[in-house]
Copies of this chain bind each other. A is one copy, B any other.
Amino acid sequence: MIDERKAWTQSMQQPQQFASDNYAGVCPEAWAAMNEANSGHEPAYGGDQWTARASEAFRTLFETPCEVFFAFNGTAANSLALASLCQSYHSVICSESAHVETDECGAPEFFSNGSKLLVAPSSNGKLTPEAIRSIALKRTDIHYPKPRAVTITQPTETGELYTLDEIHAISAECRSLGLKLHMDGARFANACASLGCSPAEMTWKAGVDVLCFGGTKNGMAVGEAVIFFDTKLAEDFDYRCKQAGQLASKMRFLAAPWVAMLESGAWLRHASHANACAQDFAHRVESLPGIKLMFKAQANAVFLTLPSEIAEGLRARGWLFYTFIGGGARFMFAWDSSPERVTALVEDLRALTS
C-alpha cells in the first residue's frame, strides 16, 4: 500500500480524492454536537452526560442492553476487543485480508501480549464456516495456540458484504467450536445501509458477541465504539481501556458526535451516500476497455484492475489512490463524496482507456 505520508506534499494542490475515506473531515452533525458539547464544565473520563447519552443511544439503536465503550481509533478498538476474548496463549481466526492481520503493525499481538492470528483461506476476504472449522481443528496439541475467537470484517476490506445468512452460519460454527465472534465494523454503517437490515439483525441477532463500530470513517473526527452484546465479556473492560491509553479525559468530545449521529440518523444517511457514489462509479467504469472490477462493489469501496499505464495516467492527472502488488487500485468513497468529483474521475478514466 502506498505510504500516505509520502503523498501529502503532492496532495496539497488537490481537490477531493478517493484514496481513503479517512481523507474526509468531520460531518456537520458530528461537528455541531462537539460544538454543543463544548460548553461549560463536564466531569472527565466518561463521567459526563454525553457519554451516558451516547451509550444509551447505542442501546436504543441495537435494541438491547449492550455494554458500550469508546476508544480513540480502530487499531485500539479491535485490538482491545480481541484481547478481552483471549489470553496470550490463545489465537484468533481471521481472513488473510483482515485489517488486523495486514495493517495494524502487530497491534493485536501487542495488546494481547501474544495472541496469534491464524489466517484462514477465504474467498474475496470472506471467511466461511468450513474455513473456520478447518483452522480451528487443524491442531489440538499444546504447541499450537488454542483458538478462542473469530474476527470478521463487515464490510470486508475488499468492499464486500457477509449476508445475514452467512453471519448466522459463521456464528453457529463458532458456537459449536466454543469460539467467540468479533466483528470489525470500521465501516459498519456502510454495511447496514447496503444490506438494509437493522444493526441488531447484523450483530447479536446473528450471533456476534462483540462489535467495533467505526465512527471516524462514518464522519467523526476520532472515536470508535466497542459494543459487547455478551455483557459478561465486558467485565473490567474499562480498566483495560484505561491501562492501554484509550480512556479520554474529555470524553464528551468522543461521545457527543455519536449522540448526534445516532439520534439524527446521520450515521446511516452518510453511509448510504458513500455507498451510492461507489456503486455509481463502479457501474460507470466497469465496462471501460481494460478495466475490471476486482470485487463486487457492495459498500463504499471499488477495486479495479488497471493497466499500469492507466494508473500512471490517473496519477499524472493528479489523482491519489492506493495500488497493490500484482496490480489493482482501490477507490474509497466517503460521507462527503462529491458527484462532480466522481464524474471527473470517471471522465479521466474514460479518456485514458479510449
A353 interfacial by beta-carbon distance below 8 Å: no
- By a CB distance below 8 angstroms, the chain B residues around A46 are 5
With both chains docked as a complex, state the minimum distance between the C-beta of A81 and any C-beta of chain B, in angstroms.
12
- B107 contacts A244, C-beta separation under 8 Å: yes
Are the CB atoms of B245 and A73 closer together than 8 Å? yes
CB of A44 within 8 A of CB of B72, answer no
Q: Which residues in chain A, 219-270, are within 8 Å of chain B measured between CB atoms? A: 221-222, 236, 238-240, 242-250, 252-254
A245 and B243 form a contact (CB under 8 A): no
Residue A173 interfacial (CB < 8 Å) = no
Are A72 and B245 closer than 8 Å at their CB atoms? yes
Contacts A43-B23, A236-B87, A249-B22 given; does A243 touch B5 at CB 8 Å: no
Q: Is A48 an interface residue (CB 8 A)?
A: yes
Task: Indicate if A63 sits at the interface (CB-CB under 8 A).
Answer: no
Copies of chain A in the complex = 4
Chain B residue at minimum C-beta to C-beta distance from A12: B49
Rounded to whole angstroms, the CA-CA distance of A40 and B20 in the bound complex is 13
Residue contact B141 to A222, C-beta cutoff 8 Å: no
Instruction: Report A's interface with B, CB cutoff 8 A.
Output: 1-8, 11-12, 14-17, 19-20, 22-26, 31, 34, 37-49, 52, 71-76, 79-80, 87-91, 102-107, 109-111, 113-116, 138-146, 216, 221-222, 236, 238-240, 242-250, 252-254, 320, 325
* 23 chain-A/chain-B pairs, Cβ below 8 angstroms: A5-B45, A5-B142, A8-B47, A14-B41, A20-B249, A25-B40, A26-B38, A76-B245, A76-B246, A80-B245, A87-B240, A88-B110, A89-B239, A102-B144, A105-B144, A109-B116, A110-B113, A138-B325, A142-B238, A216-B249, A216-B250, A222-B253, A222-B254
